[in-house]
């Protein structure tokens, strides 16, 4: 009985248990258990033996069915003809990939994705860090302000896009009126139609929604820095800027990298706000990678071309994940 219980996984914890001052109690428990072995059916015994795999099974099977299988399926699709406008499913080799790679719109959308996500994430990072720095020490009203600042995180990006549309779109939105009053001269910006303002609008919406993300993570990092370091620095008469460079920044480093990586991986998917605010337009001026692939697949119905493109995009992202995320989330043994 005991051997069955104390198989591999328990061997170590049990021995450590025995080393503790609790030894007498542990011994009693062992004796009790030995005296009254639970009666298990053959099925239950088998279930108990494979317990760890049974627990993992539902989640793993679901992910296999709805993530890995579709990915393999799409790999097949990207090498055949799967187009609602061209009949038949013949093997076409790399043709679908060629179509994407040589499509100027595809390259433009990838470039725009990089630019938009890069600029948005940079602004979010700086702004989030500044706000986090102001919120480290407690002050009256901090709890309420905290609750307000995190609100954008719980709103659908669609609604964020809608909210900024209401603010910016001419002639309804009040933004141009407010700017006119503030600047003292007539402002008539087409926030959703004119370059570069439509990019500004998209970035503002993204910054509004995701600065709290940076802020929350960086604040957690800041509060984890041991306060005695700051006390020591104060005793040494070091100025605030030096404290920031010598203490805050190095301690916050890993957290910064984590926040940046997570945010960047989400930012490059940018789709929802564009769908609502500009619809990719005017023309193809606000096509991001996701939006481009969506249009190719679901409005032009070149499904195999879209899957080929999404595989290229996937490999792109997988590289970032493999390089950065794995390093960040090292599973250190407890």
Partner 1 sequence: MAAVAPARRRKRRSLPIGRILLLGFFLVFVLWPLYWMFNTSIKPSDDYLTVPPVWFPAEPTLVHYEAALFTYRGLDGLINSLIISLSATVLSALFGTLMAYSLARYNTGGRHLSFWVLSQRFLPPIGIVLPVFLIYRGVGLYDTHIGLIIAYTVFTLPVSVWMMFAYFRGMPKSMEEAALVDGCTRWEAFWRVAVPLAAPGIVAAAVFAFIACWTEFFFALILTSRTAFTLPTVFRAFIGFQGAQYGEAAALAIVSLVPSIALGVLAQRHLVRGLTLGAVRG
Please state, in angstroms and rounded to a whole number, the distance separating the CA atoms of residues 73 and 22.
56
Toward partner 1, which CB reaches closer, 286 or 290?
Answer: 290
Rounded to the nearest whole angstrom, what is the least distance from the CB of residue 204 to partner 1 in the complex? 9
For position 156 contacting partner 1 by CB under 8 A, the verdict is yes
Work out which of 101, 111, 153, 249 binds partner 1, going by CB under 8 A. Answer: 153
CA–CA separation, 268 vs 110, rounded Å?
Answer: 9
To the nearest whole angstrom, how small is the minimum distance from the Cβ of residue 43 to partner 1?
12
**Positions in 186-205 near partner 1 (CB under 8 A):** none
Q: Is 96 in the site for partner 1 (CB under 8 A)?
A: no
Q: Does the footprint of partner 1 cover residue 213 (CB under 8 A)?
A: yes
Contacts of 118 by beta carbon, 8 Å cutoff, 6+ apart: none
Binder to partner 1 among 63, 94, 111, 249 (CB under 8 A)? 63
Half-sphere exposure (Cβ direction) of 328: Cα atoms closer than 13 Å: 16
Radius of gyration of the chain (CA): 28
- Binds partner 1 (CB under 8 A): choice among 86, 101, 111, 155: 155
The secondary structure of residue 153, as a DSSP letter, is G
Q: Does 110 bind partner 1 (CB under 8 A)?
A: no
Among 43, 53, 91, 241, binds partner 1 (CB under 8 A): 53
**Does position 303 bind partner 1 by CB under 8 A?**
yes
Among the listed residues 105, 163, 179, 247, the single contact to partner 1 using CB under 8 A: 163
Does residue 221 contact residue 256 with C-beta atoms inside 8 Å? yes
Q: Is 276 a residue that touches partner 1 (CB under 8 A)?
A: yes
Stretch 9-28 residues interacting with partner 1 (CB under 8 A)? 9-10, 13-14, 17, 26
- Kindly state the number of chain residues that form the binding site for partner 1, as judged by CB under 8 A: 112
226: contact with partner 1 by CB under 8 A: no
Can residue 242 be called a binding residue for partner 1 (CB under 8 A)?
no
CB 287 within 8 A of CB 108: yes
**Nearest distance, CB of residue 329 and partner 1, angstroms:** 5
Report CA-CA distances (Å) from 215 to 121, 142, 222, 251, 252.
12, 14, 10, 16, 12
Tell me the window of 96-104, 115-123, 182-190, 292-300 that interacts with partner 1 (CB under 8 A): 292-300
DSSP string, 114-131: HHHHHHHHHHHHHHHHHH
DSSP symbols for 215-282:
HHHHHHHHHTS-HHHHHHHHHTT--HHHHIIIIIHHHHHHHHHHHHHHHHHHHTT--HHHHHHTTT-S
If binding is defined by CB under 8 A, does position 321 make contact with partner 1? yes
Q: Are 124 and 149 in contact (CB under 8 A)?
A: no
Candidates 11, 69, 115, 242; binder of partner 1 (CB under 8 A) is 69
Give the DSSP letter of residue 39.
P
Q: Does 89 bind partner 1 (CB under 8 A)?
A: no
Distance between CA atoms of residues 162 and 277, nearest Å? 7
Is residue 166 involved in binding partner 1 (CB under 8 A)?
yes
- 8 A C-beta contact, residue 275 and residue 291: yes
Residues 29-48 that bind partner 1 (CB under 8 A): 29-30, 32-33, 36-38, 40, 44, 47-48
Q: How far is it, in rounded angstroms, from Cα 270 to Cα 290?
A: 7
Q: Please tell me whether residue 227 binds partner 1 under the rule CB under 8 A.
A: no
Is there binding between residue 134 and partner 1 (CB under 8 A)?
yes
Phi, psi of 48 (to 5 degrees): -65, -40
Q: Does 293 bind partner 1 (CB under 8 A)?
A: yes
Query: Residue 184, interface with partner 1 (CB under 8 A)?
Result: no
- 116 or 217: whose CB is closer to partner 1? 217
Those residues whose C-beta lies under 8 Å from the C-beta of residue 91, and which sit 6 or more positions away, are 79, 80, 81
Q: Is there binding between residue 111 and partner 1 (CB under 8 A)?
A: no
């Amino acid at each position: 009985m005991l051997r069955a219980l104390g198989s591999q996984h328990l061997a170590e914890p049990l021995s450590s248990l025995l080393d503790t001052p609790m030894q007498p109690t542990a011994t009693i428990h062992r004796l009790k258990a030995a005296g009254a072995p639970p009666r298990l059916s053959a099925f239950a015994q088998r279930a108990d033996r494979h317990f760890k795999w049974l627990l993992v099974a539902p989640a793993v099977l679901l992910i296999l069915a709805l993530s890995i299988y579709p990915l393999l399926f799409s790999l097949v699709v990207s090498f055949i003809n799967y187009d609602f406008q061209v009949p038949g499913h013949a093997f076409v080799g790399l043709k679908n990939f060629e179509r994407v790679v040589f499509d100027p719109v595809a390259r433009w959308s990838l470039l725009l994705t990089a630019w938009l996500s890069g600029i948005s994430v940079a602004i979010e990072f700086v702004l989030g860090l500044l706000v986090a720095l102001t919120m480290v020490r407690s002050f009256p009203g901090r709890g309420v302000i905290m609750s307000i600042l995190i609100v954008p995180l719980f709103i659908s990006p669609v609604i964020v896009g809608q909210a900024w549309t209401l603010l910016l779109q001419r002639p309804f939105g009040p933004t141009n009126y407010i700017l006119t009053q503030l600047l003292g001269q007539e402002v008539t910006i087409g926030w959703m139609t004119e370059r570069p303002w439509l990019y500004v609008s998209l970035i503002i919406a993204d910054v509004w929604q995701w600065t709290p993300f940076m802020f929350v993570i960086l604040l957690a990092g800041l509060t984890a820095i041991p306060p005695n370091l700051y006390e020591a620095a104060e005793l040494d008469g070091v100025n605030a800027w030096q404290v920031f460079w010598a203490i805050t920044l190095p301690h916050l480093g890993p957290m910064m990298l984590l926040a940046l990586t997570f945010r960047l991986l989400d930012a490059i998917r940018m789709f929802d706000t564009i769908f609502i605010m500009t619809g990719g337009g005017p023309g193809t001026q606000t096509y991001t990678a996701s939006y481009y692939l969506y249009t190719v697949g679901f409005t032009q119905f070149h499904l195999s071309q879209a899957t080929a493109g999404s595989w290229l995009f996937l490999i792109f992202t997988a590289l970032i994940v493999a390089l950065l995320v794995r390093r960040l989330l090292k599973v250190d043994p407890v």
